[in-house]
Amino acid sequence: MAVASLVPQDSKESDLQGYSFDLTGRTALVTGSSRGLGYAIARALGHAGASLVINGTSAARLEESATSLRDDGLSVKTAAFDVTNEGSVAGAFAALDAGGLEIDILVNNAGIQLRKPMIDLSLEEWRSVIDTNLTSAFIVGREAARRMIPRGRGKIINIGSLMSGLARPTIAPYTAAKGGIKMLTQAMTAEWAEHGIQANAIGPGYMLTDMNQALTSNPQFDAWVKARTPSRRWGKPEELVGTAIFLASSASDYVNGQIIYVDGGMSAVI
Protein backbone atom coordinates (compact mmCIF):
# COMPACT_ATOMS: atom_id res chain seq x y z
CA MET A 1 0.00 0.00 0.00
CA ALA A 2 1.66 3.23 -1.11
CA VAL A 3 1.78 5.66 1.78
CA ALA A 4 1.38 9.16 0.34
CA SER A 5 2.98 12.09 2.16
CA LEU A 6 0.49 14.71 3.25
CA VAL A 7 2.72 17.61 2.27
CA PRO A 8 2.77 19.03 -1.30
CA GLN A 9 5.56 17.44 -3.32
CA ASP A 10 7.45 20.74 -3.68
CA SER A 11 8.15 20.85 0.09
CA LYS A 12 11.72 20.57 1.27
CA GLU A 13 12.74 17.23 2.80
CA SER A 14 12.88 18.92 6.24
CA ASP A 15 9.22 20.02 5.87
CA LEU A 16 8.21 16.38 5.61
CA GLN A 17 9.28 15.68 9.23
CA GLY A 18 6.17 14.89 11.24
CA TYR A 19 3.93 14.59 8.17
CA SER A 20 4.53 11.03 7.08
CA PHE A 21 2.53 7.88 7.76
CA ASP A 22 5.49 5.87 6.49
CA LEU A 23 6.82 3.32 9.03
CA THR A 24 9.78 2.17 6.92
CA GLY A 25 12.78 1.35 9.11
CA ARG A 26 10.67 0.92 12.24
CA THR A 27 10.04 -2.35 14.12
CA ALA A 28 6.61 -2.92 15.68
CA LEU A 29 5.71 -5.43 18.41
CA VAL A 30 1.98 -6.16 18.62
CA THR A 31 0.85 -8.30 21.55
CA GLY A 32 -1.98 -10.75 21.01
CA SER A 33 -1.52 -10.50 17.24
CA SER A 34 -1.97 -14.07 15.98
CA ARG A 35 -5.61 -13.22 15.20
CA GLY A 36 -8.41 -10.66 15.55
CA LEU A 37 -7.71 -6.95 15.95
CA GLY A 38 -4.05 -7.56 16.83
CA TYR A 39 -3.47 -9.42 13.57
CA ALA A 40 -5.27 -6.74 11.55
CA ILE A 41 -3.21 -4.00 13.22
CA ALA A 42 0.09 -5.87 12.73
CA ARG A 43 -0.71 -6.48 9.06
CA ALA A 44 -1.50 -2.81 8.49
CA LEU A 45 1.65 -1.59 10.26
CA GLY A 46 3.60 -4.00 8.06
CA HIS A 47 2.00 -2.64 4.89
CA ALA A 48 2.89 0.87 6.11
CA GLY A 49 6.55 -0.21 6.14
CA ALA A 50 7.23 -1.58 9.64
CA SER A 51 9.06 -4.83 10.34
CA LEU A 52 6.84 -6.92 12.60
CA VAL A 53 7.24 -8.92 15.77
CA ILE A 54 3.97 -10.73 16.42
CA ASN A 55 3.10 -12.21 19.79
CA GLY A 56 0.78 -14.79 21.28
CA THR A 57 1.05 -17.63 23.75
CA SER A 58 0.81 -20.42 21.17
CA ALA A 59 3.98 -20.75 19.06
CA ALA A 60 2.15 -22.97 16.57
CA ARG A 61 -0.64 -20.46 15.90
CA LEU A 62 1.93 -17.65 15.76
CA GLU A 63 3.86 -19.47 13.03
CA GLU A 64 0.66 -19.89 10.99
CA SER A 65 -0.08 -16.15 11.28
CA ALA A 66 3.55 -15.26 10.48
CA THR A 67 3.38 -17.39 7.34
CA SER A 68 0.26 -15.64 6.06
CA LEU A 69 1.82 -12.24 6.79
CA ARG A 70 5.03 -13.28 5.00
CA ASP A 71 2.89 -14.43 2.06
CA ASP A 72 1.81 -10.76 1.97
CA GLY A 73 5.48 -9.85 1.54
CA LEU A 74 5.90 -8.60 5.09
CA SER A 75 8.96 -8.94 7.36
CA VAL A 76 7.78 -10.93 10.40
CA LYS A 77 9.37 -12.41 13.48
CA THR A 78 7.44 -14.28 16.16
CA ALA A 79 7.78 -13.91 19.94
CA ALA A 80 5.72 -16.34 21.96
CA PHE A 81 5.47 -15.05 25.52
CA ASP A 82 2.84 -14.59 28.25
CA VAL A 83 2.10 -10.87 28.59
CA THR A 84 0.90 -11.39 32.18
CA ASN A 85 4.19 -12.94 33.36
CA GLU A 86 7.06 -10.50 33.90
CA GLY A 87 9.70 -13.25 33.63
CA SER A 88 8.28 -14.34 30.29
CA VAL A 89 8.18 -10.72 29.06
CA ALA A 90 11.71 -9.94 30.29
CA GLY A 91 12.99 -13.11 28.59
CA ALA A 92 11.32 -12.16 25.32
CA PHE A 93 12.82 -8.68 25.35
CA ALA A 94 16.27 -10.11 26.21
CA ALA A 95 15.94 -12.36 23.14
CA LEU A 96 14.96 -9.35 20.99
CA ASP A 97 17.99 -7.45 22.38
CA ALA A 98 20.26 -10.41 21.58
CA GLY A 99 18.82 -10.48 18.05
CA GLY A 100 19.57 -6.77 17.62
CA LEU A 101 15.84 -6.00 17.36
CA GLU A 102 14.83 -2.58 18.72
CA ILE A 103 11.09 -2.14 19.31
CA ASP A 104 10.18 1.33 18.01
CA ILE A 105 6.41 0.77 18.14
CA LEU A 106 4.61 -1.23 20.85
CA VAL A 107 0.92 -2.06 20.49
CA ASN A 108 -0.50 -3.42 23.77
CA ASN A 109 -3.43 -5.28 22.27
CA ALA A 110 -3.61 -8.57 24.19
CA GLY A 111 -6.91 -8.92 26.01
CA ILE A 112 -9.77 -11.23 26.93
CA GLN A 113 -13.45 -10.68 27.57
CA LEU A 114 -15.50 -12.41 30.29
CA ARG A 115 -19.23 -11.70 30.48
CA LYS A 116 -20.83 -12.51 33.85
CA PRO A 117 -22.76 -10.54 36.52
CA MET A 118 -20.31 -9.16 39.10
CA ILE A 119 -22.04 -10.91 42.03
CA ASP A 120 -21.32 -14.25 40.35
CA LEU A 121 -17.72 -13.40 39.47
CA SER A 122 -14.87 -15.17 41.29
CA LEU A 123 -11.80 -13.25 42.44
CA GLU A 124 -9.70 -15.43 40.11
CA GLU A 125 -11.90 -14.48 37.15
CA TRP A 126 -11.65 -10.79 38.09
CA ARG A 127 -7.85 -11.03 38.41
CA SER A 128 -7.36 -12.90 35.14
CA VAL A 129 -9.17 -10.18 33.17
CA ILE A 130 -7.36 -7.34 34.97
CA ASP A 131 -3.99 -9.11 34.52
CA THR A 132 -4.48 -9.85 30.82
CA ASN A 133 -6.11 -6.56 29.82
CA LEU A 134 -4.38 -4.00 32.08
CA THR A 135 -1.36 -5.29 34.04
CA SER A 136 0.07 -6.73 30.82
CA ALA A 137 0.28 -3.23 29.33
CA PHE A 138 2.32 -2.13 32.35
CA ILE A 139 4.64 -5.18 32.21
CA VAL A 140 5.28 -4.99 28.44
CA GLY A 141 5.25 -1.18 28.39
CA ARG A 142 7.85 -1.04 31.16
CA GLU A 143 10.25 -3.36 29.26
CA ALA A 144 9.76 -1.40 26.03
CA ALA A 145 10.17 2.00 27.71
CA ARG A 146 13.38 0.90 29.45
CA ARG A 147 14.82 0.60 25.92
CA MET A 148 12.99 3.52 24.24
CA ILE A 149 14.07 6.10 26.85
CA PRO A 150 17.82 5.83 26.10
CA ARG A 151 17.01 6.07 22.37
CA GLY A 152 14.93 9.20 22.95
CA ARG A 153 11.99 8.00 20.89
CA GLY A 154 9.19 5.42 20.84
CA LYS A 155 5.51 4.88 20.13
CA ILE A 156 3.21 3.07 22.53
CA ILE A 157 -0.35 2.34 21.45
CA ASN A 158 -2.60 0.82 24.11
CA ILE A 159 -5.81 -0.82 22.93
CA GLY A 160 -8.55 0.46 25.19
CA SER A 161 -12.21 0.22 24.39
CA LEU A 162 -15.53 2.04 24.24
CA MET A 163 -15.53 0.67 27.81
CA SER A 164 -12.62 2.95 28.68
CA GLY A 165 -15.32 5.54 29.24
CA LEU A 166 -18.70 3.78 29.27
CA ALA A 167 -20.12 0.73 31.08
CA ARG A 168 -22.80 -1.85 30.54
CA PRO A 169 -23.86 -4.79 32.73
CA THR A 170 -21.91 -8.10 32.91
CA ILE A 171 -18.46 -6.93 31.82
CA ALA A 172 -17.14 -5.23 34.99
CA PRO A 173 -13.53 -6.49 35.00
CA TYR A 174 -13.13 -5.71 31.28
CA THR A 175 -14.60 -2.23 31.84
CA ALA A 176 -12.40 -1.55 34.87
CA ALA A 177 -9.33 -2.78 32.97
CA LYS A 178 -10.10 -0.69 29.89
CA GLY A 179 -10.73 2.39 32.04
CA GLY A 180 -7.34 1.64 33.57
CA ILE A 181 -5.80 1.43 30.10
CA LYS A 182 -6.97 5.01 29.41
CA MET A 183 -5.40 6.31 32.61
CA LEU A 184 -2.24 4.14 32.30
CA THR A 185 -1.78 5.74 28.86
CA GLN A 186 -1.93 9.18 30.49
CA ALA A 187 0.49 8.02 33.20
CA MET A 188 2.92 6.82 30.51
CA THR A 189 2.72 10.28 28.91
CA ALA A 190 3.34 11.92 32.28
CA GLU A 191 6.60 9.99 32.77
CA TRP A 192 7.84 9.21 29.26
CA ALA A 193 6.84 12.07 26.92
CA GLU A 194 9.92 14.06 27.88
CA HIS A 195 11.99 11.14 26.56
CA GLY A 196 10.50 11.42 23.10
CA ILE A 197 7.91 8.69 23.63
CA GLN A 198 4.31 9.18 22.50
CA ALA A 199 1.80 6.97 24.35
CA ASN A 200 -1.78 6.97 23.10
CA ALA A 201 -4.80 4.66 23.13
CA ILE A 202 -7.41 3.46 20.66
CA GLY A 203 -10.94 2.80 21.93
CA PRO A 204 -12.68 0.36 19.59
CA GLY A 205 -16.44 0.33 19.65
CA TYR A 206 -18.54 -2.68 18.69
CA MET A 207 -16.35 -4.39 16.10
CA LEU A 208 -16.98 -7.60 14.17
CA THR A 209 -14.28 -9.64 15.94
CA ASP A 210 -14.03 -13.22 17.28
CA MET A 211 -14.28 -11.77 20.81
CA ASN A 212 -17.72 -10.36 20.00
CA GLN A 213 -19.03 -13.50 18.28
CA ALA A 214 -21.52 -14.13 21.09
CA LEU A 215 -22.91 -10.63 20.59
CA THR A 216 -23.13 -10.42 16.82
CA SER A 217 -25.01 -13.75 16.78
CA ASN A 218 -27.51 -12.46 19.36
CA PRO A 219 -30.39 -10.76 17.45
CA GLN A 220 -31.38 -8.54 20.37
CA PHE A 221 -27.82 -7.36 20.98
CA ASP A 222 -27.23 -6.88 17.25
CA ALA A 223 -30.38 -4.72 17.05
CA TRP A 224 -29.31 -2.72 20.11
CA VAL A 225 -25.83 -1.99 18.67
CA LYS A 226 -27.36 -0.81 15.38
CA ALA A 227 -29.91 1.40 17.17
CA ARG A 228 -27.37 2.82 19.67
CA THR A 229 -24.61 3.51 17.12
CA PRO A 230 -25.08 6.69 15.05
CA SER A 231 -23.47 4.88 12.09
CA ARG A 232 -26.15 2.17 12.52
CA ARG A 233 -23.68 -0.69 12.06
CA TRP A 234 -20.89 -2.74 13.66
CA GLY A 235 -17.31 -1.72 12.91
CA LYS A 236 -14.95 -3.79 10.76
CA PRO A 237 -11.47 -4.61 12.19
CA GLU A 238 -9.85 -2.96 9.16
CA GLU A 239 -11.55 0.28 10.19
CA LEU A 240 -9.25 0.46 13.23
CA VAL A 241 -5.95 0.17 11.44
CA GLY A 242 -5.72 3.71 10.02
CA THR A 243 -5.76 5.12 13.55
CA ALA A 244 -3.04 2.62 14.54
CA ILE A 245 -0.86 3.69 11.58
CA PHE A 246 -1.39 7.35 12.46
CA LEU A 247 -0.43 6.80 16.12
CA ALA A 248 2.57 4.64 15.09
CA SER A 249 3.90 7.27 12.66
CA SER A 250 5.71 10.59 12.85
CA ALA A 251 2.42 12.24 11.86
CA SER A 252 1.40 11.93 15.54
CA ASP A 253 4.67 13.09 17.16
CA TYR A 254 2.85 15.87 19.05
CA VAL A 255 -0.13 13.70 20.09
CA ASN A 256 0.31 12.29 23.60
CA GLY A 257 -1.87 10.71 26.29
CA GLN A 258 -4.97 10.66 24.09
CA ILE A 259 -7.59 8.00 23.42
CA ILE A 260 -9.15 7.94 19.97
CA TYR A 261 -12.53 6.22 19.92
CA VAL A 262 -13.22 4.26 16.73
CA ASP A 263 -16.83 3.48 17.53
CA GLY A 264 -19.11 4.83 14.79
CA GLY A 265 -19.99 7.72 17.10
CA MET A 266 -21.43 5.62 19.92
CA SER A 267 -19.50 7.39 22.71
CA ALA A 268 -20.49 10.82 21.36
CA VAL A 269 -24.26 10.49 21.75
CA ILE A 270 -26.91 9.24 24.21
State the residues that interact with Ca ion by CB under 5 A. Answer: 161, 204
174 is catalytic: yes
SS3 for 157? Answer: strand
Between residues 215 and 248, which has the closer beta carbon with respect to ligand GCO? 215
- 204 touches ligand GCO (CB under 6 A): yes
Q: Alpha carbon of 159 to those of 64, 70, 87, 109: distances in Å?
A: 23, 24, 23, 5
Between residues 76 and 262, which has the closer beta carbon with respect to ligand GCO? 262
42 in Cβ contact with 30 (< 8 Å): yes
Among the candidate windows 75-83, 93-101, 141-149, 156-164, which touches ligand GCO by CB under 6 A?
Answer: 156-164
109 in Cβ contact with 33 (< 8 Å): yes
Q: Could you give the CA distance from residue 7 to residue 100 in angstroms, rounded to a whole number?
A: 33
Among 115, 127, 151, 233, binds ligand GCO (CB under 6 A): 115
- 108 touches ligand GCO (CB under 6 A): no
Axis crossing angle, helix 172-192 with helix 123-130, rounded to the nearest 10: 40
- 243 touches ligand GCO (CB under 6 A): no
Among 21, 39, 206, 261, binds ligand GCO (CB under 6 A): 206
- 233 touches ligand GCO (CB under 6 A): no
213 in Cβ contact with 43 (< 8 Å): no
Positions marked catalytic: 174
